Copies of this chain bind each other. A is one copy, B any other.
């Protein structure tokens, strides 16, 4: 239930890129105006913990406590347990901080008790003072698996452990065929005045969300409301391993490549001002183009971009 003057925005989010934008959006929108549907394809078990990296990054970003050096974990966290484990010979794939470990442990214990990921995320957001509606894309397990010349690996094996050094041959989202949207996800898409596909990796961050059939259908039904922000500027991503992933899957690494991936889902693509040359080709796809400064090195830039996006 929202008052009539509200502008309802629903954001599709991965970790880093979109979380920066969410920082900006949350400074402008009221919490009840903002819903976030978060990728869970990178969820992974580490040291017996159910780690949902993107859910945590979004939550920490909205709570104002995200570690902005890594866009992973909590600002100024300590790593005593992680380091002690390492000295015992057990090296964790992700560097999990002591406070961040509590979040992941809480999730793990609650999942064991039979609670749904959606419920747990709501509880955690409440505890961290996050009032926006943050939801996993699905309560069912979806696992991104990247086929490479050196075998099939999870996203973290591919990116964190092997630094995206393997040639990509294909990608799958295991479990996605049976994944229903989490409770609230379709509603958040339906009631939104606008839906934003954030500037995250189109393959591994947005790919799993858009691979959930009912989510993709709901977006496609009224793609005029859907605005995507290109995470690619020129011929390179602002951060992360999008280049090798897009190349490996036969996509052009450019805003045009991004536009082709989002065709049928997004009605508008927002790109960096330096990329006007891609305008005509993207127009031809039936996607409107908007050019602005999409770089967000600091909070001021994040608020500025958020404001411009809300004006669109």
On A, residues with C-beta under 8 Å from B are: 47-48, 77-78, 80-85, 87-90, 97-99, 101-103, 105-106, 108-109, 112, 123-124, 127
Contact = CB atoms under 8 A, between A and B. Distances in A.
B109 A90 contact: yes
Chain A at the B interface: SS class: helix
Contact of A85 (B48, B77, B83, B105): B105
Contact of A81 (B47, B81, B89, B112): B81
Contact of A84 (B88, B98, B109, B112): B98
Nearest to A99: B84
Nearest to A100: B84
B47 A109 contact: yes
Nearest to A106: B88
A109 B89 CA distance: 12
B78 A47 contact: no
B84 A48 contact: no
Contact of A88 (B78, B98, B102): B102
A127 B78 contact: no
Q: Name the residue in A78, A101, A112 with the highest tally of chain B Cβ atoms < 10 Å from its Cβ.
A: A101
Contact of A108 (B48, B109, B124, B127): B48
A88 B97 CA distance: 16
A102 to B, nearest CB: 3
Given A109-B47, A112-B48, A124 B80 contact: no
Given A87-B127, A109-B48, A109-B90, A78 B98 contact: yes
Contact of A102 (B81, B97, B112, B127): B81
Contacts of A85: 102, 105-106
Contacts of A112: 48
Q: Name the residue in A48, A78, A84, A127 with the highest tally of chain B Cβ atoms < 10 Å from its Cβ.
A: A84
B106 A90 contact: yes
A105 B89 CA distance: 12
Contacts of A80: 77-78, 80, 97-99, 102
Given A84-B103, A88-B106, A90-B106, 4 more contacts: A80-B80, A81-B98, A85-B105, A98-B98
A84 B102 contact: yes
Contacts of A109: 47-48, 90
B88 A127 contact: yes
A111 to B, nearest CB: 11
Nearest to A84: B102
A145 to B, nearest CB: 23
A81 B101 contact: yes
